[in-house]
A and B are shown apart, each in its own frame.
Chain A
Amino acid sequence: TQLLEQSPQFLSIQEGENLTVYCNSSSVFSSLQWYRQEPGEGPVLLVTVVTGGEVKKLKRLTFQFGDARKDSSLHITAAQPGDTGLYLCAASGTSYGKLTFGQGTILTVHP
């Protein structure tokens, strides 16, 4: 079983601060996804990265896939209260049907 470790598990910051969430594994992945989930709702797909070293930007969010395709990071610039939620990374290896989710990072942005 491929394991994904997310850190930190909890993050509480003030509006305007920057933050980075990490997703690490000892396994190589063919692709990695980041999702955001709000209480009482299903996860919403933010981005998919497939190429080692790939960087994608979504407004104030920057996603990076490690060169070796074993890790990824999510950086948020000037966080806003609307960014509050559970951030999940998920990755797939070579076996079909084996998408693995990390445990998630709970982000709280205070006004």
Chain B
Amino acid sequence: NAGVTQTPKFRVLKTGQSMTLLCAQDMNHEYMYWYRQDPGMGLRLIHYSVGEGTTAKGEVPDGYNVSRLKKQNFLLGLESAAPSQTSVYFCASSNEGLAGGPEFFGPGTRLTVL
């Protein structure tokens, strides 16, 4: 089992550029999440999914879009990157709902927007 994997690990963008972060899990988990982690702000939920084909907004969804076309993959897109989106992005998955919290996190993607 690879668990939760994320690609890429690092990325530098210029303001206005777009990119997609890919998250994959091989544990057959129903629930998947995207978080961002900023110094002094802790982890904040961007979007989440309760199953294939479904997505929902979290705490800080503006400027991001997501898709869950396959159960094992959860994509996070930035259509027009802004410096405020400089952060470390974590994907997570779990077999239970958010009452149980995300069980497994990926290693993170460090994104810098210039």
Is B42 within 8 A of A41, CB to CB? Answer: no
Q: A88-B43, A97-B45 are in contact. Are A42 and B101 (CB under 8 A)?
A: no
Expressed in whole angstroms, the Cα–Cα distance for A1 and B44 within the complex equals 12
Chain A contact-residue range equals: 20 to 34
B107 at the interface (CB under 8 A from A): yes
Chain B contact-residue range equals: 20 to 34
Q: How far is the CB of B100 from chain A (nearest CB, A)?
A: 6
Is B92 within 8 A of A31, CB to CB? Answer: no
Expressed in whole angstroms, the Cα–Cα distance for A48 and B98 within the complex equals 11
Q: A41-B108, A42-B92, A42-B107 are in contact. Are A48 and B43 (CB under 8 A)?
A: no
| Residue numbers in A under 8 Å from B42 (CB-CB) | 88, 101-104
Is B43 within 8 A of A43, CB to CB? Answer: yes
| A residues 10-46 in Cβ contact with B at 8 Å | 30-31, 33, 40-45
Is A103 within 8 A of B97, CB to CB? Answer: no
Residue of A41, A90, A101 with most partner-chain B CB within 10 A: A101
Is B104 within 8 A of A96, CB to CB? Answer: no
Is B58 within 8 A of A48, CB to CB? Answer: no
Scan B4-46; emit 1 where CB is below 8 A from any A CB, else 0: 1000000000000000000000000000000000001111110
Expressed in whole angstroms, the Cα–Cα distance for A40 and B98 within the complex equals 24
A60 at the interface (CB under 8 A from B): no
8 further interface pairs, Cβ-Cβ under 8 Å (given A90-B101, A97-B48) = A30-B99, A41-B107, A42-B106, A43-B43, A43-B90, A43-B105, A96-B97, A103-B40
Interfacial residues, chain B to chain A (CB-CB below 8 A): 4, 40-45, 48, 56-59, 90, 92, 97-108
Interfacial residues, chain A to chain B (CB-CB below 8 A): 1, 30-31, 33, 40-45, 48, 50, 88, 90, 92, 96-99, 101-104
Q: List 24 A-B contacts (CB under 8 A).
A: A31-B99, A31-B100, A31-B101, A33-B101, A40-B107, A41-B107, A42-B90, A42-B92, A42-B106, A43-B105, A45-B104, A50-B99, A88-B42, A88-B43, A90-B101, A92-B98, A92-B99, A92-B101, A96-B98, A97-B57, A97-B98, A98-B98, A99-B98, A103-B42
